[in-house]
Structure 1
């Protein structure tokens, strides 16, 4: 089969897959329904402060696996739902940021700078339209780059990377994620090392269990999904409960929605005027998203700063400029597609959302993200390539839904921002524990979950980022496999990682990333301390 044949096969796999129901004699595929449902759930979750795409994906994955099972037919419906959530939550996060000055997701913080002032001027509807148009434009551009780059990058990786190079590349990825996430690269490295340690318990290719303390409790290791839910979700719940306990009652009330009386039209001329800001921010977000671990918050910041330098309009940035809102939303939305470039071409997750896509693929089987996905050989069909192009089709279908109904759903979900935390947190806790039990069907999983929830709580209190922990747990198996294979192929050479110029280059780059970013962040901290001293004097 030729590459274009795989593209067509992926489209057919999505639109002609297992039937959900029949409407007027037309079969409606279950994958299409799941993408649409995930998109709606994602918008609602993104519009609700305290919820976000990663939480919904984390809770939904075990439930989806129990419903669809572990057959190849489950891949596209389950991954399609997760893709829909990822895209919907990015759009929905702008709703409370604009209407109530309460960002639904962390990367929507910069959306409040111009979105909420527009709402106070009576232009809330226009602000929502600007946010939706910018978001879906940036997201579509990022997806097109993904579809174009991921197959070619995977082919290059498959051609030039052997076992030592792949092991060195994973080391570079872990060091990069650890160094760029959080305020301290050293804390990020500690988080990554801790994730590798937890993942190594009772796992690997040894004939005897490791680090189990000779107990039956640790015999099978720490369940991966339970560990991620405990650190990511339950740890955050504990922090939020502590805040509620201290305050007893929230002192910050959501401001009432401003009376709308301003100019809320969003004409074709307005869209054309915003296109330079959207285009630049989409490129920035795509580049940032293709780098593992950086995330959409930095992309939104860079997009906003760049847009501010370009701006020559009447309304200044920070006072309700549509250009500032467009630059921010285009940047953070264009990250979602680009984040899957390292996932599909290298098997390396770039953010938390990508982590759950990899978990879904590993749990169901039949699809292993990495260079082998886009291996086009004569004589046999690569089913993984068909699934990959089916996933691309699901992403484009979600974009079409976003263009058609996303804006209407955004405006309808504004009420979700008024859900109080003391009502939301018990629901989050119950859903998370339900998802853990559905996945493991054992009460032992709750012990793991609560232990890792405490770990997640302590990490947040010590300002240790959790993302390096999560990504290192995901990559631990591939890292050990690459190390063992490289060592075996080298004939037991202890310096096997230094056997090729490319692997040496990856290792040197890993050291440089940590050293350079450590010095830079240390210099920034010293400058902030100096400014504080001068200010107090």
Structure 2
């Protein structure tokens, strides 16, 4: 039996001593490290470009990566390393247009504009960018350390105390929580979740016949997951953006980067003064990120509000103070690590970025996120545990890249904010359809994707959140499998979910969550718009 330290070392070596991409003077450059670096660069550039957020880049990259690397277990770490790099790079890149042009590259950078843009107008754009970078990387690193510590212990506890019925009830609780907290209406969230379960059941399952296929061959094999996810999340957003572009006349004004003046460096004394704001916001973002479905926009809002209460400086929040940028960026970046806690320990994605980590694992095979990943077997080596620690290593390498070169790349990405929508949107549409075809190699997949694009468009027009739909679609197979196993183990008892006290607690919590958030939702338009835009 391998010890935990041996598993950790095996995961590290799988990354740094794995297959080499090429050699320089006889020294092999690890493929996974190179992929993390490439993903990080793409993420920073995409995050700095309004309209190209991290989820879109991950969605387009995944099918292309799968077509290149194939579906062997050796592809797991390079593919997931690239996606992790994109996720981390896009988080810091979103601050660039928010500070320079008052246009957040990502929804969670919206609060950064409150102090970042006023600082840029004062000639302190460089200091604002350095503050955003320092706070973002600090919060992200803290969140990753929490992930590495908590995910294995949570998975061990779940595996030890939860049976089939309890796991099924836990999935129900997770979907109820996501449906309740995402968007302005828990009822609309539940509608989206049920719609995802319904579509996921088409042509699939453990029966000997195709369900809900209407006798058509196209539906007999089920709906391809990548087409449903990318159609609803990406193509639906593209259609909405096209509509907005057509309704608004394109501005001919030239976007100019504000001139800098004075000392734009960030001294160690200033960094030390920012640490209390970064520390508190990192804790807030980590806690928010560990709860599935809430998202980084709320974390940024709470981090900013907490920092505002702590701030005693002469320049108030909202008037151009570095503390406001630090509080916001530390909170939204801290989400990126902790949101993988439910993914790796429970197999439950909590946000859009985590969805594509799950898709990569399911597409390639050999790694099934959930409690079994962190099982220390006595008879043989657990390869999934090695992959998990390899993924942790890739995340730390991405953090190192961010610490070393992230700030310089951010400063050079201001020009990306000047790309007009009428140029960017057709590129997004073409890249997405190309990626889907590269994954499925069938025009039927394109038809499915276009159908789900229309569905995603309608969901957004009706203000129905898309994230509950996507997560329910992904978890539908696990939910059905858990229900069937629990039903079989109980001897066919129709009340099997209510026999276990723990599963009963989960079900009661599901109802309580929906009722509580139904009563606590406010009609505040700004918060609703920000939350729905985060999807």
1:179 maps to which residue? 180
Name whichever of 261-270 and 78-87 sits farther off.
261-270
Are 1:442 and 2:439 matched, yes or no?
no
Secondary structure, aligned partner of 2:28 = strand
Residue pair 1:47, 1:96 contacting (<8 A) in 2 also: yes
Residue pair 1:121, 1:262 contacting (<8 A) in 2 also: no
Shift of 1:162: 0.3
Secondary structure, aligned partner of 2:372 = helix
C-alpha distance in structure 1 between counterparts of 2:448 and 2:240, whole Å: 18
Matches within 5 A, 1:357-376: 357-376=357-376
1:525 maps to which residue? 523
Are 1:6 and 2:7 matched, yes or no?
yes
Shift of 1:253: 4.8
1:193 maps to which residue? 194
Matches within 5 A, 1:413-424: 413-424=413-424
Alpha-carbon deviations, 1:210-233, whole Å to 9, x = none?
000111121111110011111111
Residue pair 2:299, 2:331 contacting (<8 A) in 1 also: yes
**Which structure 1 residue ranges, 5 or more long, are not aligned?**
529-537
1:379 maps to which residue? 379
Q: 1:253 to 1:176 in 2, by over 3 A?
A: farther
Shift of 1:379: 2.6
Residue pair 2:255, 2:418 contacting (<8 A) in 1 also: no
Matches within 5 A, 1:457-476: 457-476=457-476
Secondary structure, aligned partner of 2:23 = strand
C-alpha distance in structure 1 between counterparts of 2:386 and 2:460, whole Å: 41
2:533 maps to which residue? none
1:60 maps to which residue? 61
Secondary structure, aligned partner of 2:413 = helix
C-alpha distance in structure 1 between counterparts of 2:217 and 2:84, whole Å: 37
C-alpha distance in structure 1 between counterparts of 2:421 and 2:202, whole Å: 36
Alpha-carbon deviations, 1:192-247, whole Å to 9, x = none?
11111110000010111100011112111111001111111111111111111122
Secondary structure, aligned partner of 1:456 = helix
C-alpha distance in structure 2 between counterparts of 1:129 and 1:520, whole Å: 38
Secondary structure, aligned partner of 1:217 = helix
Matches within 5 A, 1:72-471: 72-247=73-248, 249-251=249-251, 253=253, 255-471=255-471
C-alpha distance in structure 2 between counterparts of 1:490 and 1:290, whole Å: 32
TM-score, normalised with respect to structure 1 = 0.97
Secondary structure, aligned partner of 2:22 = strand
Q: 1:261 to 1:371 in 2, by over 3 A?
A: same
Residue pair 2:184, 2:523 contacting (<8 A) in 1 also: no
C-alpha distance in structure 2 between counterparts of 1:129 and 1:488, whole Å: 58
Residue pair 1:68, 1:74 contacting (<8 A) in 2 also: yes
Shift of 1:265: 2.2
C-alpha distance in structure 1 between counterparts of 2:297 and 2:233, whole Å: 17
C-alpha distance in structure 1 between counterparts of 2:59 and 2:397, whole Å: 22
Shift of 1:25: 1.1
Secondary structure, aligned partner of 1:22 = strand
Residue pair 1:122, 1:263 contacting (<8 A) in 2 also: no
**Which structure 2 residue ranges, 5 or more long, are not aligned?**
527-535
Give the CA RMSD over aligned residues. 1.2
